[in-house]
Structure 1
C-alpha cells in the first residue's frame, strides 16, 4: 500500500467528534510533489517528493488556522490494518493526532 492519494480523516482523538468536518470533509492528500490537508478551520500545504511505494512520510507545512497564518510539521504512516496514523504539529503549539482511511472513490459517472 502507498501513501499517495487522498485520505479521509476519520478521527482526531483530542477533539470533539464534529470538529474535523467543521468546514467540509477532513482529509490529507499526498501526491508525488507534495500534498495538502484540511480539517476544522485549518488548511495546509506541503512540498516534497514522495516515492510511489512510500508508506511513511515527514513534512513541513504552511497554511492557515481560522484565517491566521500557521505553519509546522507533521508525519504520517500506514498502519498494518491499512489505516493512516499521523500528527499535524503547529509551530510552538498543538500536536494533533489523526487517523485516516483511504478516500472512498465513486464508480458513478457524473
Structure 2
C-alpha cells in the first residue's frame, strides 16, 4: 500500500461545505448535507445540491500553502458529470477552494470541519 502524503493529513476527514459563490445555502443541502471528504492517499467525495462526485486527489503545496487538487466524476441530477477543483487551508481552520464542472458552472467555496 502506498504511503499517504504528509500534506494529506491536513485535509483528511469530512468537511462541511458552508458557502458557495454560485448557489445559496438552501440548495447546498438539497439531497444530503453538503460536504467534501478526503480519505487515504487519493480518494474522497464532494456532495452538494444534486451533485455527487468521487475524487482523485493529489496533495502538495503552492505558494507555501498546503493544497489538494482533484479531478472528480459522478452525477448531477442523474446525469453523468465530471470536473476538477482545488482547496487550500485558509484562516480559522477553513478550507477555501474552487470547483469546476466540465462544460458547466464553476464556483468558489468554503468548508469547515464537521
TM-score (ref. length: structure 1): 0.83
Q: Which runs of 4+ in 1 moved over 3 A?
A: 48-51
**Corresponding residue number in structure 1 for 2:43:** 34
**Corresponding residue number in structure 2 for 1:6:** 14
- Greater share of strand: 2
Q: Label 1:74 to 1:49 Cα distance change in 2 as closer, same or farther (>3 A).
A: closer
8 Å contact 2:57–2:69 — kept in the other structure? Answer: no
TM-score (ref. length: structure 2): 0.80
Deviations 1:8-41 (A, max 9, x none): 0011122122010011110000112311011000
2 CA distance for matches of 1:2 and 1:28? 14
Structure 2 residue ranges without an equivalent (≥5):
1-8
**Corresponding residue number in structure 2 for 1:67:** 78
SS in 1 for 2:83: strand
Which residue of 84, 88, 102 maps to 1:77? 88
Superposition CA RMSD, Å:
1.8
Structure 1 residue ranges without an equivalent (≥5):
104-110
SS in 2 for 1:93: coil
Q: Does 1:20 align with 2:20?
A: no
1 CA distance for matches of 2:55 and 2:33? 19
